[in-house]
Amino acid sequence: MGARSISDRRKAVAKGAGALALALFCVSMMALAQRNGLLDGLNIRLMEIAGRARESDMGTPVTWIMQLASTIGGTAGRLALLGACFVGLWRGARPRAFWLLWTVIGGTLLNLALKQVFAAPRPDLLPHLDLVHSYSFPSGHAAGNMIFFGALAILAGRGSAYAGAALAIALIGISRVWLGVHWPSDVLAGWIEGLGWLALCRVWLPARRGKGEGADQAAMRRHAVGGDEAMDPEAVEHSRGGD
């Protein structure tokens, strides 16, 4: 059983690493296509739609919502939410709290590294409605919140949690295009990066308390319960008729 468990874990790690490698390959191909202008048509068209929407009657309240979503999904806001979730998990699920912490921090560092590798400038098609100082590709808001809210949904393990996470991820990603600071392809690349990182990190997700007992531990526990009888059947027989 132990050998099978180790083999299964290796397969899971290989699948997670493969998913991350595939995601990074897709991100690299998107970066190459964007750099060579192959995505300009779609990027410009979608950003022009956002620009016209910003100037409409509903543009001002929607912009306020987008700015709020972008602030909550920014690095500072995300780290504040992470701290609150870490404290909430600390008492009853300490290993899962640490899993969430390192998943989010590792994903943030990965995104920072990719930004330096691709060194893509910010779009200048629309006036920026947010202060930005870093490179554009892939979007840190998109990747970071895919990882954070995705990890929370994985921890919760409920359909409603996945739906809520998808809504938050989509709103924050769209807000970056609406505010003029990211091309749509930046956001899409960030989402892909975040999914790949989650696929790898999920391999090390600690089990819920009471649900993580593996086959080896269960077998050992069953053996321990009946161990005295199994080891010394004569003594058991003697005890049955001793009185």
**Tokens matching residue 88:** 């909430």
Bond before 123 cis per omega within 30 degrees: no
Among residues 51, 20, 78, 58, which one has the least CA distance to residue 183? 51
**Tokens matching residue 225:** 């319960």
Q: What's the distance, Cα to Cα, between the start and end of the chain in Å? A: 42
CA–CA separation, 9 and 3 (whole Å): 10
Among residues 81, 51, 45, 84, which one has the least CA distance to residue 66? 51
Long-range Cβ contacts of 83-89 (<8 Å, 24+ apart): 85/152, 89/155
Q: Which residues of 29-44 are buried (b: 16+ CB within 10 A; e: fewer)?
A: ebbeebeeeebeeebe
Q: Find the length of the chain.
A: 243
Catalytic residue among 128, 141, 223, 238: 141
182 a catalytic residue:
yes
Catalytic residue among 133, 182, 223, 238: 182
Active site residues: 141, 182
